[in-house]
Structure 1
C-alpha cells in the first residue's frame, strides 16, 4: 500500500490509542479511515461507541449507512443550524453522484447554484472537488447518506421528477451513462435511435454492466442491421456477467446477420464483434479458442475505435497471463496508448492495470504491481465509488499484495465492502486471489471453519461458471486449509489435556 495510506491509518490508530481503552488494529484503523474519509468528527463519534471495542466490524458495517450517533450529530450540529434554503438545496441535490452548478440549477430550478456551492464549500460542509478546475463536486458519503434519507422521507419532493430533470441535463451534455441511470430511476428510460448506441457505449466504457443490461431490456426488440453495434455491447455485458451461453447465442445471431450485411459494417464494428467473442471464450476459460480469434486482431490495432483497441489488447494479454507468458502480455500492452484522462475508457484502463499488475506480481515485483493497481483503483473509485466492477477487479490483487508485504497487517478493508461485486464480476484469477487471501487470513486467526466456508463458497461460484482451472486452485487451497485445521485441533486437544 502507499505511504500516504499507511500514514493516515497510523494517524487514525494513534488517535484511537489515546481515546479508547483497547488498541485499534491496523485493519480497523484503515477501515475507519476509509469509511470516514478522514473526517475527524466522525472518528470522534466512533470513539464514543461501545461497539468500537466490543464489535468493531458491526460498527464499521453500519457506518456506511450512517450510525444513529453520526446521523444525530449531522442533524443537530451540521444541518439544523443551516439556513432553510441551504438545507433545501442540499437535500434536493443529494441524489446526484456528482454535481456542478449548472446541473444543480437544472434539478432545483435555481439560478444561483454556483454561489450556493461556493457558500457550502466555504463553510466546510463536506463538499469535495473531483477535478482541479473545481467544476465537479461530490458530498461526503456519510453526509450524503443522511441527506438522501431526508429526501426519501420528504413527501413534498417528487424524487422521480428530480431524476428526470437530471437525465435531461445529462442528455444535453451528451453524458449518456448518467442520463440513462437517472432516466431509469425516473421510470422513463432514455430511448431514441440516435442516443441508444452512444448510451450503451458510454455505459460499457464505464463498466456499468448492471445499468447497461437493465436499460437494454427497456429497449424495443429490433433486428435492424444499424443496431448491430448495440447488440454487440449487450453480448459484451453478458460475457462479463459470465452468462456465456446467452452471450454466444446473441453473437451467433449477429454473425448470421453480418453474413448479409458485411458491407454495412465499419472496420471497428467488425473487430468489436470478433473481440467480444474472444472475451466470452476467454472468460469461459476456453483460452486456445480465444487466442485463435484475438491474435489476428492485433494487426488491426488501431482500428478506429480506441475502446475496441483496448479490448483487443487486454483480452490477448489476459490469455498470455493465463498461459504464464508475462513478457508477451506486457509486450501486447505496448500497442495500446495510455488514456489522456483516467476516465477515458475507464473499464479498459482498469483491466489494463489488472493485467499489468498481475504480470509484475507473478514475476515477484510486488512494488510495481501494487503501484499500478492502487493508482488505477483510486482514480476509478473517485468516480464510481467502491461498489463497482473496478473494485471487483483490482481490490483482490491489492489485498494479496498487502498481505504478502505486511503479514502483521490485515488488508481486509480492501475486500469487506466489495465482496458482493467481487462475487458477481471478478474474473477467475481475481476471485481466486480474494478467497485465498480471506481463507488464509481466517487460518492465521485460528478460524479453520471460516476458512473452509469461504473456500466452499468460492468453489460453488467456480463450478457454476465452469471454471475448472479455478476449481483446481481452490481445491489445493482447501487441502492446505484441511491440514491447518487438523493442526489446530491437535493444538486444542493438547492444550485441553495439559
Structure 2
C-alpha cells in the first residue's frame, strides 16, 4: 500500500511539474516582451488576472526568455490538495528535479524538513540561476505553505526568481519586494490583447481574415479578453455568416464565455454533449475514470476526439492519456449539468467516481466525491473508516475541509466528528477557537475512547493558550479517569503534563511522566521516544548543560529521520529547541536552517515558546547584517501574538526590541519597550517558572541591563547579586550564566575590578566547558574588555578558566578546533581578494544573506571582530594567501 501511494504521488506530481503543451497559435504578447529586460533584477514576478486572461500563456513566454538567458526552469501547477505541506513540498522537489536532473532527489526523503533542505540546497548549489513557476497560485491558502514560499523567495540567490500566476492577490509580502524594486507585476490591463494582437489571434485560428470593421467590433465586445477571443474564434469556424454572429453578443465578463461555450456545445453531437456534461464532475480526466462515471468503454476515443478538435480538454500527460478541463469551461459545464440533471442523477455520478477511486486505492479523491454527492450517511461512513489514517498522517486541514462541508444539523448528530473537528482546528487555526467548540460537545454521546480524547483535549488546548497552571490542574484531575487501554489519549495527556511540569519547575514529575511513556507503560512508539528526548533536552538547555541538550535534541530529530512511516508529532518543537541550542553554541548556519524550515509550522498556532524561540533566534542571527529584517521579524512576532491572543508573545517581542535598541544607544526607546512588556503580561516568578523562550529574555534581566547601560549601577548591582544567587540556587544555570556576565559588568563599572574579573572568570569557565558562545557575544563591547583581560592571562581568581593567550580562542597553532566548511573557505578566499558581499553572492550563485551568514560563522571560528581581522588571522593560519 505504501509503495502504491508513493508511486501514485510521483505520477500525479510529474504531470503537475510539466508546463502545459504550447498552443498551435503561439502569439507573443508585447506587454510581456517589454518587461523581459527587467527579469534579471526581479526576485518575484506576479501575473494576477481573472480566469481566461492568458496568465499561463504569459508564463510560457517568460519561460522562453528564461531559457534564452540560461536559467533552469521549474514548473508546478498548484491545486487545492497542495495546501497539504507534505504534498506541496514533494511536488516542488520533483519540479526542481525535473529542472535540474544533476541534483538527484533521494527517494527516502520523508520529512518535510529534509525536503525543504534539499530544495534550498538545490537552488543555491545549481550552476545556473533557477526560475520557479507556480501556476494557479490562488489554490493555495494554507498559511504554512504560503510562509514556506515567502521565505523561499526572500532567500533566492541572485539571478533566480519565482513567477506566480493567480486570480487573486498573493499573500506574500509584496509591498516589501515592491519597495526594493524586486517585483514585476502584470495585471488584467497588461494581459488584455491590443486590437492588433486580437486580429492576429483570430486570423491564425480561422485561417482566414475578417474585415477590419468586424475585427474592431469583436475586439470592443470582448475588450481584449483572451478567453472570449479564443472562444469566438472556435465558434466562427462553423459560421457561414460571421457578421450575424459578431452582432449577436456583447460584454466582457463570464457571461460572454458562457454564451460562446454554449454555442460551441450546441454544435456538438448529442453523444459528445452528454459525455462532456457527465465527466465535468471529475477534477482529473483519464479514460478509466471517465468510463466509470459514464458507464462507457470508449472514453479514450472521445477524449482524443475532443482534444484534437480543440474543444474543452487539454492533454496533461501524453504517455498516460491524462487530460484536464480549462477551469472556465469546467465551471460552465457543471452549471449546465445542474440545470439539466436532477440532484439524484448528479449524486449518482459522484458515487460512481468515488467507487472508481476506491477501487484504485485512492481514498482522498473518493472522499471528495462522496461529500459532493451530499449523501452524508455514506460520506461520513467513508470518512470515519479513513479518519485514523488521515489523522495519523497529519492531514488535518483536509479532514477539516471535509467535515466543514457537512450542514450544521448533520454535524450536530455526530459528536465524534465535532471532537475531530476541534482537534483539527486546534492545530490549524489555533486553540482558542477549538476551546469554544470543546465546551459544546456532549460527552455522553461519545464512546469510551471519544470521551477519553475529549477529557485530554481541554488541558492540551489550555497549555497551547499559555494557561499553564489551569492546564496542569485539569490534567492532573483527568489522569485517574484515563485507563491504559486509551493509548493515544494517555500519551497526549502525559505530553501535556510533561510540558506544564517543566514550566512550573516540577522537574522530577516531568521526568516521571516521560518515563511512563519511555518505559512502555503505554504504546507510544516513536512519539514517546522523541517526547522523552526533547523534554529532557529542554531541561538540559535551561540547566546550562548545552552539549548534552544538543545531543538529546539531535537524537530526537535523528529518531524521526530513521523512520519514514513513523508518527511525526512533536518534531517541530524539538527542531526549534535544537535551533536555539545550536544558536547558543555559535552554530548559526545550522540554527538558521532549522528556523527557516520549521518556523512557518508554528506561526499559525504556536505554542508560545516555540513561536518566540523561532522568531527571536532568527532576528538575532540576521540583526548584525540586516537590521530592518530583524525588526520586521519582531513586528511579525508581535502581530502573531495578538492574533493568537498570547500576551507573553507580544511582550517578548518588545523585550527583544528593547535589547536591540539599547545596543544602538536608544536608551529611552528601550526603557519604554521594557515598561510596556511588563504591563502586557502578568509575569510569574521566572526563577520558579521555566519558560524556555524566556529563560533570560525577561523584563527583570532586560531592565537590569538597561540600568547598567544608563549609569544606574548602584541600583542594579544588589539586584543582580540576588538574581544570580537565586538562579544558581534553583539550578537555572543558563539564566545564571547571563546574569553573571551582567554582574561582572556591574562590578567593573562600580570599580570592583577583582570581583569583576573573578565573576567573569567563573562565567567563562562555564561557557567554555559547555560551549556557550552567543550569550557572551550578545553583550558586545560591554564585557569584551573583561574577557580580553582574562584571555590575556590576567588574574581572574581561582575560578578563571585556563585559556591560551597567544592564539585565537578557537585555534591551536595553525589548526582550527572548528574547521571551516568548503563553502566558508570559498567565501574566505573571495574576502581576501577584497570582494564585496554582493560580488561574492554573484560569484557563488547564493543570496547576499547567505554570504553574510558564512561571514558570521567565519568570524566566530577565527575569533575575528570584523572582515579585516578575519583575513589577517586567516593569512597567519595559512588558510589563504
TM-score exceeds 0.5: yes
- Is 1:57 aligned with 2:155? yes
> In structure 1, which of residues 167, 179, 201 is the aligned counterpart of residue 363 of structure 2?
179
Structure 2 Cα separation of the partners of residues 374 and 309 of structure 1: 26
Structure 2 Cα separation of the partners of residues 223 and 422 of structure 1: 32
- Is 1:210 aligned with 2:293? no
Kindly indicate whether the alpha-carbon contact (under 8 Å) linking 1:181 and 1:211 is maintained by their aligned counterparts in 2. Answer: no
- Is 1:455 aligned with 2:634? yes
Displacement of 1:407: 4.2
- Is 1:329 aligned with 2:510? yes
Structure 1 Cα separation of the partners of residues 399 and 512 of structure 2: 32
Displacement of 1:293: 1.6
Structure 1 Cα separation of the partners of residues 406 and 525 of structure 2: 24
348 and 278 in structure 1: CA distance in 2 versus 1, 3 angstrom threshold: farther
431 and 408 in structure 1: CA distance in 2 versus 1, 3 angstrom threshold: closer
Alignment of 1:252-267 (within 5 A): 252-254=439-441, 257-258=442-443, 262=444, 265-267=446-448
Displacement of 1:49: 5.0
Corresponding position of 1:76: none
Kindly indicate whether the alpha-carbon contact (under 8 Å) linking 1:167 and 1:179 is maintained by their aligned counterparts in 2. Answer: yes
| Cα distance per residue 1:23-69 (max 9 Å; x no partner) | xxxxxxx9999326998xx88x7145599xxx99314996999xxxx
Corresponding position of 1:363: 543
319 and 50 in structure 1: CA distance in 2 versus 1, 3 angstrom threshold: closer
Displacement of 1:482: 1.3
Structure 2 Cα separation of the partners of residues 461 and 314 of structure 1: 24
Corresponding position of 2:105: none
> In structure 2, which of residues 475, 485, 494 is the aligned counterpart of residue 313 of structure 1?
494
Displacement of 1:194: 3.8
Displacement of 1:213: 1.4
Kindly indicate whether the alpha-carbon contact (under 8 Å) linking 1:353 and 1:372 is maintained by their aligned counterparts in 2. Answer: yes
Alignment of 1:367-446 (within 5 A): 367-378=547-558, 380=560, 392-407=572-587, 409-443=589-623, 445-446=624-625
**Pair member with larger Rg:** 2
Displacement of 1:241: 3.4
Give the SS at the match of 2:466: coil
- Is 1:271 aligned with 2:452? yes
Displacement of 1:233: 1.8
Corresponding position of 1:241: 428
Structure 1 Cα separation of the partners of residues 603 and 354 of structure 2: 32
Structure 1 Cα separation of the partners of residues 406 and 429 of structure 2: 22
Give the SS at the match of 1:253: coil
Corresponding position of 2:680: none
Corresponding position of 1:304: 485
> In structure 2, which of residues 643, 663, 668 is the aligned counterpart of residue 484 of structure 1?
663
Structure 1 Cα separation of the partners of residues 454 and 156 of structure 2: 46
Structure 1 Cα separation of the partners of residues 316 and 519 of structure 2: 41
Displacement of 1:429: 0.7
Displacement of 1:362: 2.1
Structure 2 Cα separation of the partners of residues 244 and 167 of structure 1: 34
Q: TM-score under structure 1 normalisation? A: 0.58
> In structure 1, which of residues 26, 35, 46 is the aligned counterpart of residue 118 of structure 2?
35
Give the SS at the match of 1:335: helix
Displacement of 1:456: 1.4
233 and 382 in structure 1: CA distance in 2 versus 1, 3 angstrom threshold: farther
Kindly indicate whether the alpha-carbon contact (under 8 Å) linking 1:242 and 1:465 is maintained by their aligned counterparts in 2. Answer: no
Kindly indicate whether the alpha-carbon contact (under 8 Å) linking 2:427 and 2:605 is maintained by their aligned counterparts in 1. Answer: yes
> In structure 2, which of residues 432, 437, 445 is the aligned counterpart of residue 250 of structure 1?
437
155 and 224 in structure 1: CA distance in 2 versus 1, 3 angstrom threshold: closer
346 and 449 in structure 1: CA distance in 2 versus 1, 3 angstrom threshold: same
Structure 1 Cα separation of the partners of residues 663 and 580 of structure 2: 20
Kindly indicate whether the alpha-carbon contact (under 8 Å) linking 1:294 and 1:312 is maintained by their aligned counterparts in 2. Answer: yes
Structure 1 Cα separation of the partners of residues 359 and 463 of structure 2: 39
Give the SS at the match of 1:423: coil
Corresponding position of 1:168: 358
Displacement of 1:283: 1.2
Structure 1 Cα separation of the partners of residues 447 and 116 of structure 2: 49
Kindly indicate whether the alpha-carbon contact (under 8 Å) linking 2:416 and 2:446 is maintained by their aligned counterparts in 1. Answer: no
227 and 31 in structure 1: CA distance in 2 versus 1, 3 angstrom threshold: closer
> In structure 2, which of residues 652, 664, 672 is the aligned counterpart of residue 473 of structure 1?
652
Kindly indicate whether the alpha-carbon contact (under 8 Å) linking 1:209 and 1:237 is maintained by their aligned counterparts in 2. Answer: yes
Displacement of 1:454: 0.8
Displacement of 1:402: 1.4
50 and 485 in structure 1: CA distance in 2 versus 1, 3 angstrom threshold: farther
Structure 1 Cα separation of the partners of residues 367 and 128 of structure 2: 42
**Gaps in structure 1 of 5+ consecutive residues:** 1-29, 66-106, 110-149, 173-177, 492-498
Displacement of 1:295: 0.6
Give the SS at the match of 2:155: helix
Q: TM-score under structure 2 normalisation? A: 0.35
**Gaps in structure 2 of 5+ consecutive residues:** 1-112, 132-152, 164-285, 289-314, 326-349, 668-779, 781-881
> In structure 1, which of residues 277, 283, 293 is the aligned counterpart of residue 464 of structure 2?
283
Displacement of 1:395: 2.6
| Alpha-carbon RMSD | 4.8
Alignment of 1:1-40 (within 5 A): 34-35=117-118
